[in-house]
Amino acid sequence: MTASGGRPDGKMEEAARLAAKRVRRLREDPEPSFASRLGQIGVLGWAIVAPILIGVAVGRWLDWALKTGIFFTAPLIMLGAAAGLWTAWRWMHRQ
C-alpha cells in the first residue's frame, strides 16, 4: 500500500510479476545439469584434440614415408589446431 492508504505500490506489483516470469522461464527452459555441462566440456575437448591428433598421425606418416624429419608434422599440427578450434567455435555458437 502507498503511504496514503490507496492503491498497492506499483513497484511491488512489478517485482512480483518479474519473479513469476522468472519462475515460468525456468520451468520452460531449465538450466542444464552438472553432468550435461561436463558432457559439453568433453565434446568440446575432443572437437579440439581429435584434429590435432589426426594432424600428428598424418604428418608423422608423411615424414616417415618421405624421410623429411618433422617437415610435415609441424604444419599439420597447426592446421589440426586451427580446424579443431574453428569446429569448437561453431559448435558453441549453435548451442
pTM: 0.64
Q: Give the number of C-alpha atoms closer than 13 A to the C-alpha of residue 28, restricted to the C-beta side.
A: 6
Domains of the chain by residue range: 1-31, 33-94
What pLDDT, on a 0 to 100 scale, did the predictor assign at position 3?
A: 52
The CA distances from residue 88 to 2, 15, 38, 43, in Å, are: 54, 39, 15, 9
Does pLDDT of 86 surpass 90? yes
What pLDDT, on a 0 to 100 scale, did the predictor assign at position 77?
A: 97
Does pLDDT of 95 surpass 90? no
Query: 22-37 as b/e, with b when 16 or more CB fall inside 10 Å?
Result: eeeeeeeeeeeeeeee
